[in-house]
Amino acid sequence: MDSLNRALFLAINASPNVSEGELAVAVFLAKYLILLLPVGLVTLWLAGGRDRESAVHSLLGVGLVLLVNGLIGLAWFEPRPFAVGVGTQLLAHAPTSAFPSNHASIMFTSAFVLMGTAARTPRLLGRLLLICALPVCWARIYLGVHWPLDMLGALAVSMVVALVMRTAGARETSRIVAAILEGVYRRLMAWPIARGWLRR
């Protein structure tokens, strides 16, 4: 498995002579495409209704997957490619544990959780995030900060977390948290809400 992992990494990883245009695209995909998630969640929140609860449900799923990833990293440290002198590193990154990828986990988990909700708009956002997760995974391998196995691990952990988030307990927790946050939001944004600039 380790030899296949390295072989796949070297097949995807960029050469040191990559063009500036290709590098810029890869860096955008690796670092900034993930910003679609917070923008999408804020949009869902501002839409109100069931979309608001879906946004909170997704956010709690992301929090859970990051907690699981942190525990995995503590139990099993996997060096990143550049830390063991393999391939070309074109993106600055701390030598933290590589497995599983947090970027991929965030994208996959939010996608799966949103796709499992009842409301139409969150499901559409989930499908978009799932599509966008693939270039993010590719870019982080291409730039030399992750192994292919890190992405497969992220996918597996995300699927488990998404199943947990489908349980009645997780949904009830999200409902309670959403209600609390909604109360805070209405107090903080009372002035623009009263003028019709924001949804209640």
For the chain, the structural domain boundaries read 20-194
- Percent of the chain exceeding pLDDT 70 equals 100
Average pLDDT per 10 consecutive residues for the chain, totaling 200 residues: 88 90 94 96 90 95 97 93 90 92 97 92 95 96 95 97 96 93 86 77
In angstroms, the CA 97 to CA 174 distance is 30
Q: What is the pTM of this model?
A: 0.92
Mean pLDDT rounded to a whole number for the chain: 92
Side-chain-side CA neighbours of 139 within 13 Å: the count stands at 21
Tokens 């296949």 identify what position?
4
125 class by beta-carbon count within 10 Å (0-12 exposed, 13-18 middle, 19+ buried)? buried
In angstroms, the CA 143 to CA 13 distance is 6
Tokens of 1: 């498995």
CATH no., domain 20-194: 1.20.144
Q: Sign (positive/negative) of CA torsion 65, 67, 68, 70?
A: positive
* 8 Å CB contact between 19 and 9: no
Q: pLDDT (tens digit, 9 = 90+) per residue, 9-32?
A: 999 999 888 989 999 999 999 999
